[in-house]
Homo-oligomer: A and B are copies of this chain.
Amino acid sequence: MLEDIDHVGIAVSDLDASVERYRKAFGVEPVHRETVEHQGVEEVLFKVGTSYVQLLRALGPDTPVGRFLERRGEGVHHVGYRVTDIRAALTRLRDEGLPLVDEEPRPGSRGTTVAFVHPIGLDGVLIELVQEP
């Protein structure tokens, strides 16, 4: 069911400063930048092997990432797993009794289809399922 780690999503306060830090420290270059209004974030992706590192800026304080930053400060916000069939994956997790954030898949960045699974069922880790276009 899990094909790979798609990305690690990191909430940051100053996106441009963090992008510069990653570029300089790790020698990586951004491969994608996108504002996802309905998720309340602007994201920058770095390709690392078969996965991405995703830096996330909140579009405002009253967004999921904004509230995360207020509550916990900068850090890992969620882990994204690549799946081939997001509907089948959601059905399986629902059948296993895991609380879902998204009962139905919805559009993510890069043309992906995504769904979040609640951290309460998974050791405090917010999980995002990602099906590529």
Name A residues whose Cβ lies closer than 8 Å to a Cβ of B.
1-5, 8, 10-13, 18, 21, 24-28, 48-51, 53, 55, 72-76, 79, 81-82, 92-93, 96, 98, 119, 121-125
A12 to chain B, nearest CB (A): 5
A-B contact pairs, 14 of them (CB 8 A): A1-B28, A2-B48, A3-B49, A4-B48, A4-B49, A4-B51, A5-B53, A8-B79, A10-B123, A10-B125, A25-B93, A74-B123, A75-B123, A76-B76
B25 A123 Cβ-Cβ under 8 A: no
This chain's copy number in the assembly:
2
A85 to chain B, nearest CB (A): 13
B contact residues around A93 at 8 Å (CB): 25
Give the distance in Å from the alpha carbon of A125 to the alpha carbon of B5 in the complex.
17
Give the distance in Å from the alpha carbon of A17 to the alpha carbon of B4 in the complex.
23
B contact residues around A1 at 8 Å (CB): 26-28
B contact residues around A81 at 8 Å (CB): 26, 48
B contact residues around A26 at 8 Å (CB): 1-2, 81
